[in-house]
């Protein structure tokens, strides 16, 4: 969930193996690991927006490292990445799995 919207949902195994949303990917690279060989590799820039003043389009776009021009205008629907895997991100448009 990001700024009040579910941006990705999947069974845990699929989510950790194939995170499809840039926010999920950012969270997974920003988590601490008990394995010292896998340190934090990236910290997400920016902050969660004020829920009363959400940005237009995808609410994650001001922080997204993969932002497209369309993201600043249109909020993406949830695209199906697998049987029980959904991600609300324009990067997956046209990839809809059955």
For ligand SF4, the binding residues (CB under 6 A) are 21-22, 58, 60-61, 64, 66-68, 71, 76, 89-91
| C-beta neighbour count of 62 within 10 angstroms | 15
Nearer to ligand SF4, 10 or 89 (CB): 89
Q: Smallest distance from the beta carbon of 53 to ligand SF4, in angstroms?
A: 17
Nearer to ligand SF4, 11 or 93 (CB): 93
Q: Smallest gap, in angstroms, from Cβ of residue 60 to ligand SF4?
A: 5
- What radius of gyration do the chain's Cα atoms show? 14
| DSSP code at position 50 | P
Which parts of 1-98 fold into alpha helices (H)? 12-17, 22-29
């Amino acid at each position: 969930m990001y700024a009040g919207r579910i941006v990705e949902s999947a069974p845990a195994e699929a989510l950790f193996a194939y995170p499809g949303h840039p926010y999920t990917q950012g969270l997974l690279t920003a988590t601490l690991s008990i394995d010292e060989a896998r340190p934090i590799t990236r910290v997400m820039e920016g902050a969660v927006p004020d829920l009363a003043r959400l940005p237009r389009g995808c609410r994650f776009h001001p922080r997204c490292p993969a932002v497209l021009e369309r993201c600043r205008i249109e909020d993406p629907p949830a695209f199906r990445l697998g049987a029980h895997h959904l991600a609300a991100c324009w990067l997956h448009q046209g990839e809809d799995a059955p």
